[in-house]
Amino acid sequence: MNTENQKKQSDFWKGDPFTGFVLGAIVGLIVGSINIVTISFPWLGRLCFLGIWLFVGTQPRFKDKRTPEQIAKDNEAAEQRLQELREKAEARQAERQAEKEQKQITSARKREVKMQKNELKLQKNQLKIQKHQLKNRSKIKCPKCRSTNVQPLGVHKKGFSVGKAVGGTILVGGVGSLAGFAGKNSKKTDFVCMNCGK
């Protein structure tokens, strides 16, 4: 078994060529970018990439020395960590969604309460208007300008009273007939409009 593994292993790539390639590409890009801006040495980024790739790929100390069982265990542990991270992310997303829905519910409730308060205010205003209208209905209005700013002048008197004239003639004689002009109180009251004077 060990001989088969040794045959499969390359004599040249004794280290970790994949890690060397990735590390060389990153360093090559950084060095190449700096080289373009400052030094302008030709092929410096590519040379760094090749040097790191070959160095890490050919050195046995960079070789992964874990057994296949350890590699499998490490892969399982990494998969478990990834699964836990996914579950945590999903739980956070669910919490955020629940918080968002709760905020929407509370804002909807606040809007409903506000609308109810506005409706109550409107009803109160309508009641006030109705009371005012009822008060104004019972008030006397000017027939000309419809104003309620009307004040009484006094009790309306009739010009000539036949009953008083007859009574005065019987009691006093001919002079008593003048008592009919003294006037007779009626149930009517005279009013004057303070706005237009009618």
pLDDT at 134: 73
Exposed, middle or buried, 20 (CB in 10 Å: 0-12/13-18/19+)? Answer: buried
The region of weakest confidence among 8-22, 86-100, 127-141 is 127-141
Mean pLDDT of 125-132: 83
Specify the DSSP element, H or E, that contains 68.
helix 68-138
DSSP-derived 3-state class of residue 65: coil
- 75 and 64 in contact (C-beta within 8 Å)? no
Please name the residue that has the structure tokens 């836990």. Answer: 84
User: Over the chain, what is the mean pLDDT?
Assistant: 78
For the chain, the straight-line distance linking the first and the last C-alpha, in angstroms and rounded, comes to: 128
Following DSSP, what letter does each residue of 152-182 receive, concatenated?
EEEEEEES--HHHHHHHHHHT-GGGGGGGGG
pTM more than 0.75: no
Q: Give residue-wise pLDDT tens across range 31-67.
A: 888 888 887 888 888 888 999 888 888 888 777 777 8
